[in-house]
A = this chain, B = another copy of it.
Amino acid sequence: MRLSRKSEYALLALIHLAKNFDIKLVTLKALSGQNDIPPKFLETILIFLKQAGYIRSVRGPKGGYKLAKSPDQIALAEIFRCIDGPLAPVISASLHFYEKSPIEKSKKLHTLLKEIRDYVSAILEKTTLKDLL
């Protein structure tokens, strides 16, 4: 797993929204300003997160974004997978994104990489946005 800048920004925004869950809508401007995220880039990320079902939005004045589910219902694993793809260190060790790759020729190494995947996956499946507040 390697986190892209995009998923870093996504996480920061989601955490910000989690803090305001059931309280208020947060605007793009606020999310971008308070977390030092380039606004137009964040906008594309938020649209993506919306289409993925993690957030909802309201347009017009008084509009903004909010979480679509409660923070304890959003596991980090889901978010990383949907933005950055496989959690495994190599594609052939991935359950959700498997493709053939040369490293499979070494069975022992492949097994080791799958152990790493299992650990990373387990820890990110059990950690939710709520745990980050």
Is A112 part of the contact surface with B, judged by Cβ < 8 Å?
yes
Give the complex CA separation of A131 and B111 in angstroms: 12
The oligomer's copy count stands at: 2
Is A132 part of the contact surface with B, judged by Cβ < 8 Å?
yes
Is A15 part of the contact surface with B, judged by Cβ < 8 Å?
yes
* A contacts with B, residue count (CB < 8 A): 33
A80-130 contacts to B (CB < 8 Å): 89-90, 101-103, 105-106, 108-109, 112-113, 115-116, 119-120, 123, 127
Q: What are 16 A-B interface contacts by the 8 Å CB criterion?
A: A1-B1, A1-B116, A3-B90, A3-B103, A5-B101, A8-B101, A8-B102, A12-B103, A12-B105, A15-B106, A15-B109, A35-B105, A76-B112, A108-B132, A112-B132, A116-B119
